[in-house]
Amino acid sequence: MKIVISLSCFLCILFACNEKKAVSKTDFVIADGQIPNITKDRIGNIHLVYGTGDSIMYTSFSDNGGTFAKPSLIAVLPNLFSFATRGPQIAVTSKGIVVTACTSKGNIYSYYLENKVWKPGARVNDADTVAKEGLMALSGDGENAIAVWLDIRNNNGKGQRIFGARSDDGGRSWQKNILVYASPDKTVCECCKPSVAMQGNNVYVMFRNWLGGARDLYVVQSSGSGASFGQAQKLGTGSWKLDGCPMDGGGLAISKNGEVQAIWKREASIYTATPGMPEKEIGEGKSCTIETVNNKNVYAWTENGKVVFIKPGGLKEVIGYGSLPVLKAINDKQVMCVWENSKQIHASVLEL
| Residues 36/50, Cβ–Cβ less than 8 Å | yes
| Res 183 pLDDT > 80 | yes
- Region 169-178: mean pLDDT is 97
What tens digit of pLDDT does each residue of 19-38 get?
A: 333 333 578 999 999 999 99
Which residues make Cβ contacts (< 8 Å) with residue 337, sequence separation at least 6? 300, 307, 309, 319, 325, 326, 327, 347, 348, 350
pLDDT digits (tens, 9 = 90+) for 54-104: 999 999 998 665 789 999 999 999 999 998 889 999 999 999 999 999 999
On the CB side of 344, CA atoms within 13 Å amount to: 12
Contact 101, 81 (CB under 8 A): yes
Neighbours of 88 (CB within 10 A): 31
